[in-house]
């Protein structure tokens, strides 16, 4: 079969170096000709932001950062930037901080230098998102793509293990979604699979030793690849589900993505066995003898008659990683309840991409949310599949 696809690579500078954030931030602002930068960092991240911006003088510090970027918060920050004649934005933090910088840039065109302290990946996409009236709206605009990203593993050392895991699995969700999102192509699939491999290794390393800077570097590398793949492939079913759960029910971003991911994989993987097999390999699954393989799958609750399908092995490999890193497992732990399922289903069905490998129905989304709510073991055999 011949390859026919169109791929766009976003233009962005990436500066990677442990312990070098301050020097690189200053150099980027000088390159941009900026003399009045606005530094955006949530209150708890002020010490990290001071480290990353030690070599510059800011015109304004901004610490009003709220997850899912409420419109009113974005409006206040835009007004402050205008009042202080800001000429560039430096955001130091996670996805919410980067998201606020993007919201400002969306209407002002101010260039962004992003300094991530988590593994969210927002810094490498041209996707913005804001929330109003319990509805999260996202869009694509090249104005919000940071002109430069400064990665420094030292700045992620203080991220607690639990948050590191949730954030890294948020990056893993970018990888998995990019395998079959609306604009998925062989290039972003390759990036996504390498990102998944790096993140799986990194998270195991961080859990084993939170001070392992090599593992922290791998996590940043993996989340960057995941985000580049996601920016190209677009938002798939997983992200549509999580945007509803986050924007409408105010669930925490990273933990929600981490919790939902195994269930979306279990739904879609049987319809794309070749991609599922490649994902299983990226996650560290090594084909072994039938007895050992069956034992691995049974350990994670999958039926033995499905133990050797690529979908089953991919789900088992992800579940094994989740067990090792003690990943988030139940939406009920973050405030979601069964009473919210009907509204969530209604919103998800409206947003679900028609290109999803499996036809999205009220029945399979009900099953997915119910299982994710309680932490039931995901199984491809349990999904109601209508393959495209």
Tell me if 25 is assigned to some domain.
yes
Tell me if 2 is assigned to some domain.
no
Cβ–Cβ under 8 Å, residues 198 and 227:
no
Cβ–Cβ under 8 Å, residues 374 and 332:
yes
Whether residues 174 and 85 share a domain: the answer is no
Cα–Cα distance list, 331 to 69, 327, 338, 365, 369 (Å): 21, 12, 10, 14, 9
Whether residues 144 and 184 share a domain: the answer is no
Expressed as residue numbers, the domain containing 280 is: 163-382
Token pair, residue 223, equals 């989340």
Choose one of 99, 131, 156: the last residue of a domain: 156
pLDDT interval class at 306 (50, 70, 90): low
* HEC letters along 275-338: HHHHHHHHCCCCCCCHHHHHHHHHHCCCCHHHCCCHHHHHHHHHHHHHHHHCCCCCHHHHCCCH
Segment 302-310 mean pLDDT:
63
Q: Give CA–CA dist 230/373, Å, rounded.
A: 26
Q: Any idea what the CATH number is for the domain that residue 45 is in?
A: 3.40.50.1970
pLDDT digits (tens, 9 = 90+) for 9-31: 889 999 999 999 999 999 999 99
Whether residues 39 and 93 share a domain: the answer is yes
Whether residues 268 and 130 share a domain: the answer is no
Tell me if 387 is assigned to some domain.
no
- φ/ψ of 367, rounded to 5, equals -65, -40
Tell me if 6 is assigned to some domain.
no
Model confidence at 181: pLDDT above 60: yes
Give the pLDDT score at 287.
Answer: 63
pLDDT digits (tens, 9 = 90+) for 127-166: 999 999 888 888 999 999 999 999 999 999 999 999 999 9
Model confidence at 290: pLDDT above 60: no
Model confidence at 301: pLDDT above 60: no
Model confidence at 85: pLDDT above 50: yes
Tell me if 82 is assigned to some domain.
yes
Cβ–Cβ under 8 Å, residues 189 and 178:
yes
Whether residues 259 and 352 share a domain: the answer is yes
Give the pLDDT score at 67.
Answer: 86
The structure's pTM equals 0.89
Choose one of 156, 190, 223: the last residue of a domain: 156
Whether residues 198 and 151 share a domain: the answer is no
Choose one of 156, 179, 194: the last residue of a domain: 156
Tell me if 366 is assigned to some domain.
yes
pLDDT interval class at 300 (50, 70, 90): very low
Compute the mean pLDDT over every residue in the chain, rounded to the nearest whole number.
92
Which has more pLDDT, 304 or 99?
Answer: 99
pLDDT digits (tens, 9 = 90+) for 219-270: 999 999 999 999 999 999 999 999 999 999 999 999 999 999 999 999 999 9
Tell me if 1 is assigned to some domain.
no
Whether residues 219 and 350 share a domain: the answer is yes
Tell me if 4 is assigned to some domain.
no
Whether residues 55 and 76 share a domain: the answer is yes
Model confidence at 370: pLDDT above 70: yes
When divided into structural domains, the chain yields a total of: 2
Whether residues 279 and 374 share a domain: the answer is yes
Token pair, residue 313, equals 């092995």
Whether residues 114 and 194 share a domain: the answer is no
């Amino acid at each position: 079969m011949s390859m026919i696809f169109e791929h766009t690579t976003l233009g962005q500078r990436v500066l990677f170096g442990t312990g070098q954030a301050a020097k690189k931030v200053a150099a980027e602002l000088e390159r941009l000709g900026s003399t009045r930068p606005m530094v955006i960092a949530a209150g708890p991240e002020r010490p990290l932001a001071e480290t990353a911006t030690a070599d510059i003088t800011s015109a304004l510090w901004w610490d009003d950062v709220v997850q899912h970027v409420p419109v009113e918060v974005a409006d206040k920050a835009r007004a402050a930037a205008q009042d202080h004649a800001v000429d560039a934005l430096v955001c130091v933090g996670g996805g919410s901080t980067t998201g606020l910088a993007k919201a400002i840039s969306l209407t002002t065109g101010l260039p962004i230098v992003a300094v991530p302290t988590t593994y969210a990946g927002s810094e490498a996409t041209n996707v913005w998102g804001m929330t109003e009236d319990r509805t999260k709206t996202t869009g694509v605009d090249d104005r919000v793509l940071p002109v430069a990203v400064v990665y420094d593993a030292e700045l992620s050392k203080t991220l607690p293990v639990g948050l590191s895991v949730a954030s890294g699995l948020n990056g893993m969700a970018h990888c998995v979604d990019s395998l079959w999102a609306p604009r998925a192509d062989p290039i972003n699939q390759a990036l996504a699979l390498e990102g998944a491999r790096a993140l799986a290794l990194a998270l195991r390393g961080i859990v084993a030793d939170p001070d392992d800077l090599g593992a922290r570097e791998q996590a940043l590398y993996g989340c960057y690849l995941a985000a580049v793949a996601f920016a190209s492939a677009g938002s798939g079913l997983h992200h549509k589900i999580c945007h509803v759960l986050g924007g409408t029910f105010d669930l925490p971003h990273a933990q929600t993505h981490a919790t939902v991911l195994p269930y979306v994989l279990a739904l879609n993987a049987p319809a794309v066995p070749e991609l599922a097999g490649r994902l299983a390999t990226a996650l560290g699954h090594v084909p072994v003898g039938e007895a050992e393989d069956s034992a691995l799958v049974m350990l994670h609750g999958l039926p033995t008659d499905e133990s050797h399908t690529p979908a089953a092995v991919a789900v088992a490999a992800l579940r094994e990683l989740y067990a090792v890193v003690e990943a988030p497992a139940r939406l009920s732990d973050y405030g979601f309840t069964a009473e919210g399922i009907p509204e969530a289903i209604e919103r998800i069905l409206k947003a679900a991409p028609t290109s999803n490998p499996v036809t999205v129905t009220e029945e399979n989304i009900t099953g997915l949310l119910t299982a994710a709510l309680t932490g039931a073991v995901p199984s491809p055999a349990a999904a109601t599949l209508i393959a495209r």
